Amino acid sequence: MSRYARLWWSCLRQAIRRDLQFRSQTLINAFASVAELVLGLIPVLILTGTSAAEVGWNGPLTLIVVGIYGACTGLMDCFVAPNLRRIDGYVRKGELDLILIRPVNAQLFATLRWMEPAELGRVVTGLGLAVAGAHAAHLPFEAGLVIRAASWTAIGFVGFSVLWANLVYLAFWFESAEPINEVALEVREAGRYPLTYFPKSVQFVLATVVPAGLIAAVPAKVLTGTVTTLTTGLLLLTAGVALTILHWRLASRRYSSAS
Amino acid sequence: MRLARVLRVLVTREVTIMLHYRWWLAMLQLSNIVAPAISLLVWRGAIAQGSTPPVTETFLTTYLVLVSIVAMLTSSWTSGFLADSIRLGGLSSWLVRPCSTHLNGIANNIGEKVVKLVLLVPLVAVLGIIFRSEVELPPVGVRWFAFAVSLVMAGAMTFSLDIVIGSLAFWFEDVTAVNRLRYLLARILSGSLIPLALFPAAVIPFLNAQPFRFMVSFPLEVLLGHPSGQSFALQVGWFAAFVGSAVAIWRLGLRSYQGAGA
């Protein structure tokens, strides 16, 4: 375990060094990452601004959803997305050889190797928005609720990453699956909106198969005091992770290498 | 006349190449339709729960069903290719030919649109059928003609902006981050995510005047609404400004171009 922690730390230091080599690019990317959060707030605020009071969503609660969503997707875009975006290239160009010959778990290494620290700007801004929203909504600060909400966000984070990973593993089965990353990113956008606005069937999908709704909408509800049990979420997540490991094993057998 | 012939040959070549990437392009079209479909679902959900947007449900639904087609037709992916050809020296081979690299860029864009249109229309049709009770198109006539003219000008504006951003590679090593910023701004300001009419009244005058409106929203406003003559004049003005800027920056950049290996 400590070997993997050391490996991850080395990858992070390498990513920071790489970003320091291209400073202007990194700065613009950090700015764009924060701008993405702020601009993403606009349609959601307009939506809740025109909504009737009985829907139960107002500006401050929306800020919490968008803030948590921004922070969580900032982490995803820093640690997960740069790796998943490269899987297609690994398979198509035979670069996976260089990962398979290393004395580490290939799936884990292919999932954690690349990082983009510039995206972390969105994490800070997102958390700031969420705290400001909670303050404006006069939500009581209870450690239990915060831990429960953070757990739901973590389930959403891992759950959506697992779904995305399974989609990019299609690269092993088809000639090129690169645009599947764009599909995953667009679907993830649904997590920016309070779930109440979606039809019931879509709400169910966003809470299970495509867990974008668990990233922010469910945690925000939890912060308002709505009780939700974590057991089902954890069970689904465990099943998802197990299926993803199995999928990698089956898919990587089809890999024909660079030779 | 000669240019038209060359363009036809280039477009035919591009379409043939694009057909090799049909599944790749099909997945891209799926991603194109997801964002408007999400907007459509949440807005219709909000209206069903008593929300009162400043536009009718019919306008909103028709707009969000059609917006992915308009956004695709007026989009351009030239900046990345152009920046690469400047950075890696590929531009040199176009500079010695009796045909501009931009004609090739136009052909490339037309080629991808021909193939993408075939792939996107069935997806939009499915969305339209699902929400058919609230989709309302005008009868074929002058309005469709004005829509087509507006669409061509919108496409030309986006292409010109792409040339401007791609030309930054004459001075900067990488233009990816600038491109990312442009896409972020365009996503909100062009109306490709939600109609601009839904924004608060205080910002509507600004939204109506800024150029991104004329790249996606305006052609749809022409088709589904009754924009003023002043708006048409504004689109012509922005069109001239974008094309003029692209020509000026390209010429300026060429002076500082050094082919790879030179």
User: What's the pLDDT tens digit per position in A103-158?
Assistant: 888 998 888 889 999 889 899 999 999 999 999 888 887 888 899 999 999 999 99
Whether the CB of B207 is below 8 Å from some CB of chain A: the reply is no
Q: Do B31 and A49 touch (CB under 8 A)?
A: no
Residues of B in contact with A175 (CB under 8 A): 23
For residue A259, tell me if it sits in a domain. Answer: no
B188 contacts in chain A (CB < 8 Å): 39, 42-43
Name the nearest CA neighbour of B170 among B43, B256, B73: B256
Say if CB B189 and CB B213 are below 8 A apart.
yes
State which of A121-125, B96-100, B169-173, B207-211 shows the largest mean pLDDT. Answer: B207-211
Q: Which of residues 172-201 of A touch B (CB under 8 A)?
A: 174-180, 182-183, 185-187, 189-190, 193, 196-199
Q: What residues contact residue B255 under an 8 Å CB cut-off, 6+ apart? A: none
Q: Which of residues 11-40 of B touch A (CB under 8 A)?
A: 21, 23-25, 27-28, 30-31, 34-35, 38-39
Preferred mutation among A183, A198, A203 to probe B, highest tally of B CBs within 10 A = A183
Q: Which of A29-38, B137-146, B164-173 has the lowest mean pLDDT?
A: A29-38
Q: DSSP assignment, residue A45?
A: H
Query: Do the Cβ atoms of A32 and B184 come within 8 Å?
Result: yes
B180 CB within 8 Å of a chain A CB: yes
B233 contacts B93 by C-beta, under 8 angstroms: no
- Rounded to two decimals, the ipTM of the complex is 0.85
Over range B48-68, report the average pLDDT.
Answer: 91
Rounded to a whole number, what is the distance in Å from the CA of A132 to chain B's nearest CA? 22
Q: How far apart are the first and last CA of chain B?
A: 35
Task: Name the closest residue on chain B to residue A29, using Cα atoms.
Answer: B177
**How far is residue B242's CA from residue A85's CA, in Å, rounded to a whole number?**
33
* The predicted structure's pLDDT at residue B231: 92
State residue A196's pLDDT score: 86
When the pLDDT of each residue in chain B is averaged and rounded to a whole number, the result is: 91
Disruptive mutation site among B38, B47, B119, B212 for chain A (greatest number of A CBs within 10 Å): B38
Of A37, A71, A65, A166, the closest CA to residue B42 belongs to: A65
Say whether residue A42 is in contact with chain B using an 8 A CB cutoff.
yes
User: Minimal Cα–Cα distance from A197 to chain B, Å?
Assistant: 5
pLDDT of B2 = 83
- Domains: count for chain A: 1
Q: Does the CB of B241 have a partner CB in chain A at under 8 Å?
A: no
pLDDT tens, position by position, A36-64:
888 888 888 888 877 765 566 777 888 89
Q: Is the pLDDT of residue B261 over 60?
A: no
Give chain A's radius of gyration (CA, Å): 19
| Among candidate residues A122, A191, A121, A137, the one with its CA nearest the CA of residue A163 | A191
Beta carbons within 10 angstroms of residue A3's beta carbon? 9
Report the 10 Å Cβ neighbour count for B120: 23
Distance (Å) from the alpha carbon of B243 to chain A's nearest alpha carbon: 26
- Residue A206: inside a domain: yes
Task: Print the domain residue range for A98.
Answer: 1-254
Q: Of the candidates A155, A88, A154, A117, which has an alpha carbon nearest to the alpha carbon of residue A11?
A: A117
For B72-101, write each residue's pLDDT tens digit.
Answer: 999 998 999 999 999 988 999 899 888 899
Residue A7 within any structural domain of the chain: yes
Return the residue of B nearest to A183 by Cα.
B31
**Interval A64-75 mean pLDDT:** 94
